[in-house]
Structure 1
Amino acid sequence: MLFHVRMNVHLPKDMPTAQADEIKAKEKAYFQKLQQDKVWRHIWRITGQYSNISIFDVESNQALHDLLQGLPLYPYMTLDIMPLNRHPSSIYDDDR
């Protein structure tokens, strides 16, 4: 199942820089593993914001939920999630 996820990150302004850097490093490692596993298919930064648009390819709603809750930055995020369905006018046979 494909999902479009917008992630908006809101780190506390009083969070120590070292703590923020540690969380971001863990997030990057987790993200890169999910890319290698072909689960986190795409990511785009939203210009001028600490936000991104990502495409996930997972087996279920629960799998996406578990994956997102595993993000080190998850406690500092707001998420907008849209399940995606293949459009009948698409000329492509495979969306992966």
Structure 2
Amino acid sequence: MLFLVRMDVLLPLDMPSSVADDIKAREKAYAQDLQRSGKWVHLYRVVGEYANYSIFDVESNDELHGLLSSLPLFPYMKIMVTPLAKHPSSIV
């Protein structure tokens, strides 16, 4: 199942930079592991925002929820999920 996911990161302004840096490092490692596994297919930055659009390829809604809720930045994110289906005019 394919999903388009928009993630907006909203770190507290008073969060110490050392804490933020640790969370971001763990986030990067986890995201890269998911990309290597083929679950996180694409990851695109939104220009001028602390946000991204991503494509996930997972077995179920529950699997996606588990992956997203395990992101170290999850407590600081606003997430919007859109399920995707193949378009009948697509050649891929």
- Which TM-score bucket, shorter chain as reference? over 0.9
Distance 1:43 1:3 in 2: 12
Matches within 5 A, 1:4-83: 4-83=4-83
Q: Which amino acid aligns with 2:44?
A: W
What is the aligned residue count?
A: 92
TM-score, normalised to structure 2's length? 0.99
Distance 1:29 1:53 in 2: 18
Deviation at 1:91, TM superposition (A): 1.2
Distance 2:39 2:59 in 1: 9
Over aligned residues, Cα RMSD in angstroms?
A: 0.4
**Unaligned stretches of 5+ in structure 2?**
none
Deviation at 1:39, TM superposition (A): 0.5
Structure 1's consecutive aligned runs of 4 or more residues displaced over 3 angstroms after TM superposition are none
Identical residues among aligned pairs (%): 60
**Unaligned stretches of 5+ in structure 1?**
none
Q: Which amino acid aligns with 1:73?
A: L
